[in-house]
């Protein structure tokens, strides 16, 4: 027998019976991603200039998403119901189409990290099958944006009489615990009887990666350093385990995976995405991470970093160092400021004015990425792992980041290790939580 709840004036009583979670299975037969774009500049409406060549664009066009709706800064349940037909203007390039999935899905998933919150939800298509949709938000705006977006999804699902409504929130990440009470109180206040299920973060990361590797064609790609381009990698069916997952968010976690659900966190680093974002926030006027990446794409690190060629005049071939290799990050800043002929002591602002923000952004991106790449190699050597998967929102489909991580691993391993990347690199945790579904007893 279902429970009845009063939801706005549009419907006096809405039956929000909890569906049997044990019956919910995701049919991945024939699944595919909406487009073939691997790098952010390939689907940008205004491509950012780059000093390096970009891979050729695919001829496949992205699908429109007419099931999405705009989130208002000030919105309540009633407003959400009334405006649920309004579509998002931002093109979603990461939808996964599930053409054979026709059973009901009554949950959404949310991975609440220290910097970003990643959310996944499903919509059915009128001609059969459906789509997985991917959204991310700033975690600092959890109460003003994320919760309101979830409320809109829930109320829209209530409005569709032909489908059971969303009744479960699969939550993971540190924020699943931090914001648990806030979510509970907010849903209760709006008379939405949601059941929040908190799942282990590492378990969700591995579950999500394994699902994407094994179920989604053209999800995994590599960076070909010789051809300076990205390539799909679909030859993984028999060579999945063991591997190292390097998940780069605000910080870095490194996880050894030896089989389905068999994993161990073997290391990490506090120097991750949060380090880059924080330093660039201090040193540039970039307003968000996307702008920082665009700055880096336009910059020239040779104006900031001391290169091998600056020291030796050429390559140091005896020890395998090319003239373009970075000998010391930011060392030219010190040299330029130290030998400045101005007798007056410069203010911090005056010092910064002598360097381009774009050059600073590129140098920092290289510094953080090279450090992560080298530590990843060292951890892989410890456990004799040949395959390294890089995930996390830090990557964001950014060519320079992908190139730098690939180069670092290839350089230190002498080509003995392979770096892999994902088109849904920032959503591993939320994908894992979504695929687990509510058929579990790990509630808070």
Please report the DSSP string for 348-360 in residue order. HHHHHTTS-HHHH
Tell me if 315 sits within 8 A of 307, measured CB to CB.
Answer: no
Tell me if 407 sits within 8 A of 373, measured CB to CB.
Answer: yes
Taking CA 188 as the corner, what is the angle to CA 184 and CA 194, rounded to the nearest 5 degrees? 65
Residue 232 has what pLDDT? 87
Q: Which residue has better confidence, 327 or 164?
A: 327
Average pLDDT, the chain: 81
Residue 341 has what pLDDT? 65
Q: How far is Cα 20 from Cα 438, in angstroms, rounded to an integer?
A: 9
* Runs of H (alpha helix) within 254-384: 273-283, 289-298, 308-312, 331-338, 348-352, 357-382
Which tens digits make up the pLDDT trace of 298-323? 999 999 999 999 888 988 888 888 88
Greatest mean pLDDT among 6-20, 34-48, 122-136 lies in: 122-136
Q: Which residue has better confidence, 234 or 87?
A: 234
Q: Which residue has better confidence, 59 or 164?
A: 164
Bridge partner list, 245: 255, 389
Bridge partner list, 122: 132
> Where along the chain do the CATH 3.30.420.40 domains lie?
17-208+429-436, 220-304+355-422
pLDDT bracket for residue 59 (50, 70, 90)? very low
Residue 92 has what pLDDT? 54
Residue 409 has what pLDDT? 97
Which tens digits make up the pLDDT trace of 160-208? 776 788 999 999 999 999 999 999 999 999 999 899 999 999 999 999 9
Pick the CATH number of 220-304+355-422 from 3.40.640.10, 3.30.420.40, 3.40.50.10950, 3.40.50.1820: 3.30.420.40
The H or E element spanning position 147 is helix 147-159
Tell me if 95 sits within 8 A of 33, measured CB to CB.
Answer: yes
Residue 336 has what pLDDT? 86
Which tens digits make up the pLDDT trace of 373-415? 999 999 999 999 999 999 999 998 899 999 999 999 999 999 9
Q: Which letter does DSSP use for residue 225 in this model?
A: T
Greatest mean pLDDT among 28-42, 69-83, 353-367 lies in: 353-367
CATH-assigned architecture of domain 17-208+429-436: 2-Layer Sandwich (3.30)
Q: What is the DSSP string of 45-64?
A: SSPPP-SSPPPPPPSPPPPP
pLDDT at 9 over 60: no
pLDDT at 142 over 80: yes
Going through 225-307 in order, the beta strands assigned E by DSSP cover: 229-232, 243-248, 252-259, 262-269, 306-307
Residue 281 has what pLDDT? 94
Residue 65 has what pLDDT? 39
Residue 3 has what pLDDT? 38
């Amino acid at each position: 027998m279902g429970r009845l709840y009063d939801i706005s004036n549009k419907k006096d009583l809405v039956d929000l019976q909890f569906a049997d979670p044990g019956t919910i299975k995701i049919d991945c037969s024939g699944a595919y991603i909406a487009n073939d774009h691997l790098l952010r500049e390939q689907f940008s409406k205004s491509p950012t200039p780059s000093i390096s060549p970009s891979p050729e664009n695919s001829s496949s066009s992205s699908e429109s998403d007419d099931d999405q709706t705009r989130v208002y800064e000030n919105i309540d349940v009633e407003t959400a119901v009334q405006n649920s037909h309004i579509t998002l203007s931002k093109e979603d390039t990461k939808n996964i189409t599930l053409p054979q999935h026709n059973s009901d899905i009554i949950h959404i998933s949310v991975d609440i990290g220290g910097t970003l919150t990643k959310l996944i939800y499903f919509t059915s298509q009128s001609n059969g099958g459906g789509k997985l949709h991917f959204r991310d938000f700033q975690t600092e705006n959890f109460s003003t944006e994320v919760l309101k977006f979830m409320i809109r999804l829930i109320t829209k699902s209530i409005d569709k009489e032909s489908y059971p409504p969303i009744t479960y929130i699969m939550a993971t990440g540190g924020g699943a615990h931090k914001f648990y009470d806030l979510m509970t109180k907010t849903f209760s206040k709006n008379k939405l009887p949601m059941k929040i299920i908190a799942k282990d973060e590492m378990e969700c990361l591995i579950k999500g990666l394994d699902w994407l590797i094994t179920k989604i064609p053209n999800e995994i790609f590599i960076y070909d350093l010789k051809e300076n381009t990205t390539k799909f990698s679909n030859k993984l069916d028999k060579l999945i385990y063991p591997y190292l997952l390097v998940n780069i968010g605000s910080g870095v976690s490194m996880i050894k995976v030896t089989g389905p659900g068999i994993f161990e966190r073997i290391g990490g680093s506090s120097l991750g995405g949060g380090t880059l974002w924080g330093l660039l926030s201090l040193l540039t006027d970039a307003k968000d991470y996307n702008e920082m990446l665009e700055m880096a794409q336009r910059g020239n690190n040779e104006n900031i970093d001391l290169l091998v060629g600056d020291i030796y005049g050429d390559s140091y071939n005896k020890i395998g160092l090319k003239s373009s290799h970075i000998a010391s990050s930011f060392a030219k800043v010190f040299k330029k400021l130290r030998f400045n002929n101005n007798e007056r002591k410069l203010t911090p602002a005056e010092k910064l004015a002598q360097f381009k923000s774009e050059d600073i952004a590129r140098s920092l991106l290289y510094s953080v990425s090279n450090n992560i790449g080298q530590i990843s190699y060292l951890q892989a050597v410890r456990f004799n792992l040949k395959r390294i998967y890089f995930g996390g929102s830090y990557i964001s489909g950014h060519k320079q980041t992908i190139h730098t991580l690939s180069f670092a691993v290839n350089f230190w391993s002498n080509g003995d290790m392979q770096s892999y990347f994902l088109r849904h690199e920032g959503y591993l945790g939320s994908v894992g939580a979504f695929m687990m579904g509510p058929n579990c007893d790990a509630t808070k």
